[in-house]
Each structure stands twice: as structure tokens, then as C-alpha cells.
Amino acid sequence: MPRNSENPPPRVPLADLLARRRRIGDRVDAAVARVMAHGQFIMGPEVAELETALARFVGVRHVVTCANGTDALRLTLMAWGIGPGDAVLTSALTYVATAEAAALCGATPVFCDVSPDTLLFDPAGLATGTARARAAGLRPRVVIPVDLHGQPADYAAIVPAARELGLRVLADAAQSVGGSLNGRRVGGLADATATSFFPAKPLGCLGDGGAIFTDDDALAEVLRSLRVHGSGKDKYDTVRLGLNSRLDTLQAAVLLEHLAILPEELAAREAAARNYDAALAGRADIVRPVVRPEARSAWAQYAVALDDRDRTAAALNALGVSTGVHYPTPIHRLPPFRGALTASDALPASERAAARTLSLPMGPYLTVADQERVVDALVKATSGKT
Ligand SMILES: *Cc1c(COP(=O)(O)O)cnc(C)c1O
């Protein structure tokens, strides 16, 4: 179609969720058709097949799939017996689900700050957060570091420090499947790792889905029971209270196809990130969070910090570029968590990031031409020429 002023080029979406279909739509449709034909819609063979394939990909003993990422966090906390009187530390800069999972178990979240350079859980919060939890009469039990934007948190520092303090480590890897730290894939970096297959995540499905990764045999067994109402030897033998939280067979079938091309998609995301880095290299006023040399990000988001974030986002939008904010409000400022415990009187790095961070269009199928449009628009928007 010829382009003129009445025919502007299509918008650059934050994430193009249909692009993958152009590549493997036929394979996904065939996988869905196979499930339609065998009819085992709940816990069909594709579910176990996916769990085996994911365990091999990540390099862990067990993968337990479930209905969504929030349940993956919640089921793990339930399996560990977390409840009223227990404190769960996490960062204030995350999606609400991280803290919600703890609160729904009856536990008390304790919000910690992030490191200003990486926007990941600052390990300094472990000592202060547990001290404040104890002072409030709570038992500190778990820390949930968040792999924000796809970069694994600082597990090399967090895991040993958490051990000293008697805390278990549950990684919130909703955004980071495929990332790694010192050559070890996300999923094997903590006592347990929760992820999400929400469509926009690096390993997304076509609806809701989630999983827990662990090397702990006993934990995996309890999780398998909890996701089916706390079942025992069969579904009418209920040995504990659980949830109805299974991954649909249809989504497992789709995920097997998506997992097969995940390594190539991760490489494409990495290339897109490098491209943005090169294009923005001269702009001291537009900086992205640091990815440490020992870490590989899954690049769920490519975010930059901007002094005038909201005005810039509006200008980009007017120029046909969609953006996102991950996340606009530190969780302890949201109504359900107002007045919540914090690891220090203020969480300045989380507050500053919430006010300044903007996610640019990102994805494995983002074209170089679209990236140029994003960068051109960003240059215009930040030089006041709009
Ligand atoms: C997406 C996300 C979740 C929740 O996953 P759902 O599958 O939507 O329940 C939890 N934590 C973080 C950091 C996320 O990005």
C-alpha cells in the first residue's frame, strides 16, 4: 500500500504478539488440532511432555506447570507452609502479583529497595528487611527476588545471604525464562523459581499459564498435589487444601512449539537490544538499566530512564510508537499495600525508577526499520521537537 499523509505507516506496538504466528502458525495450529482430536483437555500428554522439555532446557530436575504465574508463586509459598505471622521479602518495583501471592497466603510482604543501576532486588535489603520484620513480631521466611525486564537478580549474593538468615529463595522469573547467570539458566538459580506464560512474556502461550522449576523432589511432589486441590493418591483423596491450578493441555501443546524456537527468539531479542544500545550510545540522558557481565537477560523489556518520562511517552505515542511502563507505582504505594512494612524508611531507587522508566517496543520480530522509527521518534521527543 503506498504511504502518504493519509496512509501513515502502522504503529510500532510495544510487543507484536501476532508476529510469531507468521513464522510457526501452521505448526501451532497442527498442535492444537492434535489436542482437539485426542480430547484430553485437562492434564493431557502434552503437559508432561512440556514439563520434561522445559526441565531439560533449564537444567533442573522438576518442572510443575500450573494455571498462571501468580499461582506459581502462591503454590510454592503454600507448599512451604507460609502463612499468617510469616514475612516475605520482595522488591517494591515489580508487578503486583509478586506481593499479592504472599498476601493471599496470609503472610506479610516486606518491601525492599532495588539497586539503582540494575533495578533488581538490592541484597542489602535482606538484613534490614528481616530485622524490621522481627521487630514487628513476624518470622522472616522467604525472599522473592524479581528478574525485572528479563535480567536474573543477583542470586550469587542473595542465596548465600538468605541461607545465613534462614530464608528460602523463590525467584520471580515471570520475565526471564531463557536468561542466565554465570552460564546457569534461570530456573536453577534459587530454591524454587516461578514463571508465567502470559502471552507477552519471553516464553508466552496463547492465554494464561505458569510453572515452577526446582531441584527439590519433595517440593515438586507437594506442588503436584496442590495444583489439583491437594490431591493424594487420586483426585478424590484430598490430603491438603490446594487450588485448581493446572495448565490447559492446549496451552502446553502451544508452548512446546514456542519452546522449540525460544533460543532463536532470545538471540533476536539480544540483537534488538544491541541495536538500541548502538543507536542510543551517544545519549547520556537516555540510559538503560545495567545488565551485569555475568548475566544474560531474556530482554522481556528494553527500558530506558528519562527525566520527562510521561511527556516523552505521550510524544512517542503521537508519533506512532507504543510504549509501556514497568512499573508506574512502587507496590507499597498501591491501596492494598499502603502502610505495608518496608526494609527502610524510604525506597528511593524504586520510587525514582517508577517515575522515570519507559519500556520501548521490543520482541524477536521487531524489524530494524521499526527500531529506527522508535529511535528517531525518541530523539525527536526528547529534543522537544514535537
Ligand atoms: C507477569 C508477572 C507475574 C504474574 O504472572 P501471571 O501469569 O500474569 O499471573 C508475576 N510477576 C512478574 C514480575 C510478572 O511480570
Element (H, E) at 36: helix 19-38
Task: Categorize the per-residue pLDDT at 4 as very low, low, confident or very high, splitting at 50, 70 and 90.
Answer: low
In angstroms, what is the span from residue 381 Cα to ligand 1's centroid? 31
Q: Is 64 within 8 Å of 227 (Cβ atoms)? A: yes
- Can you tell me whether residue 342 is helix, strand or coil? strand
The Cα 132–Cα 21 span in angstroms is: 49
C-alpha grid cell for residue 128?
Answer: 534490614
Look at residue 317 in the predicted model and tell me its pLDDT: 97
Q: Is 262 within 8 Å of 57 (Cβ atoms)? A: yes
Task: Categorize the per-residue pLDDT at 8 as very low, low, confident or very high, splitting at 50, 70 and 90.
Answer: confident
The Cα 92–Cα 98 span in angstroms is: 9
pLDDT in tens, 67-123: 999 999 999 999 999 999 999 999 999 999 999 999 999 999 999 999 999 999 999
∠87-89-91 over CA atoms, to 5°?
A: 150
Strands (E), 12-159: 62-66, 86-91, 108-112, 139-144
Look at residue 198 in the predicted model and tell me its pLDDT: 98
Q: Are strands 184-185 and 357-360 parallel, antiparallel or unpaired?
A: unpaired
Q: Is the pLDDT of residue 1 over 70?
A: no
pLDDT in tens, 129-155: 999 999 999 999 999 999 999 999 999
**To 10 degrees, the CA torsion angle through 83, 86, 89, 94?**
30
CA diameter of the chain: 68
The Cα 301–Cα 289 span in angstroms is: 11
Per the prediction, the chain carries an average pLDDT of 96
Mutate to test the pocket of ligand 1, among 68, 95, 151 (most ligand atoms within 8 A of CB): 95
- Provide residues with CB under 6 Å of ligand 1: 68-70, 94-95, 97-98, 146, 172, 174-175, 196, 198, 208, 210
- Can you tell me whether residue 141 is helix, strand or coil? strand
In angstroms, what is the span from residue 69 Cα to ligand 1's centroid? 5
Q: Is the overall model pTM greater than 0.85, yes or no? A: yes
Element (H, E) at 23: helix 19-38
Q: Of all protein residues, whose CA lies closest to atom 1 belonging to ligand 1?
A: 174
- Can you tell me whether residue 74 is helix, strand or coil? helix
C-alpha grid cell for residue 140?
Answer: 522472616
In angstroms, what is the span from residue 279 Cα to ligand 1's centroid? 30
Give the burial class of 68: count Cβ atoms within 10 A of its Cβ; 0-12 exposed, 13-18 middle, 19 or more buried: buried
Q: Is 82 within 8 Å of 336 (Cβ atoms)? A: no
Q: Is 171 within 8 Å of 154 (Cβ atoms)? A: no
C-alpha grid cell for residue 279?
Answer: 543507536
Q: Is 155 within 8 Å of 190 (Cβ atoms)? A: yes
pLDDT in tens, 280-338: 998 999 999 999 999 999 999 999 999 999 999 999 999 999 999 999 999 999 999 99
Name every residue whose Cβ is closer than 8 Å to that of residue 109 and which is 6 or more positions away in sequence. 87, 88, 89, 90, 99, 102, 103, 331, 337, 340, 341
Name the residue among 43, 69, 339 with its Cα closest to residue 196. 69
Residues 346-364, mean pLDDT to the nearest whole number: 98
Bridge partners for 324 per DSSP: 359
Name the residue among 367, 178, 151 with its Cα closest to residue 262. 178
Q: Is the pLDDT of residue 383 over 90?
A: no
Q: Is the pLDDT of residue 372 over 90?
A: yes
In angstroms, what is the span from residue 196 Cα to ligand 1's centroid? 6
Considering only 3-7, 195-199, 349-353, which range has the smallest mean pLDDT? 3-7
Atom of ligand 1 nearest to the CA of 196: 7
Look at residue 324 in the predicted model and tell me its pLDDT: 98
pLDDT in tens, 225-278: 999 999 999 889 999 999 999 999 999 999 999 999 999 999 999 999 999 999
C-alpha grid cell for residue 100?
Answer: 499479592
C-alpha grid cell for residue 8?
Answer: 501513515
Q: Is 349 within 8 Å of 122 (Cβ atoms)? A: yes
For the sheet with 180-181, list strands across it. Answer: 184-185, 180-181, 295-296
pLDDT in tens, 12-29: 999 999 999 999 999 999
Q: Of all protein residues, whose CA lies closest to atom 6 belonging to ligand 1?
A: 69
Residue 20 backbone class (left: φ over 0; alpha: ψ -120 to 50; beta: rest): alpha
Look at residue 9 in the predicted model and tell me its pLDDT: 80
In angstroms, what is the span from residue 382 Cα to ligand 1's centroid? 31
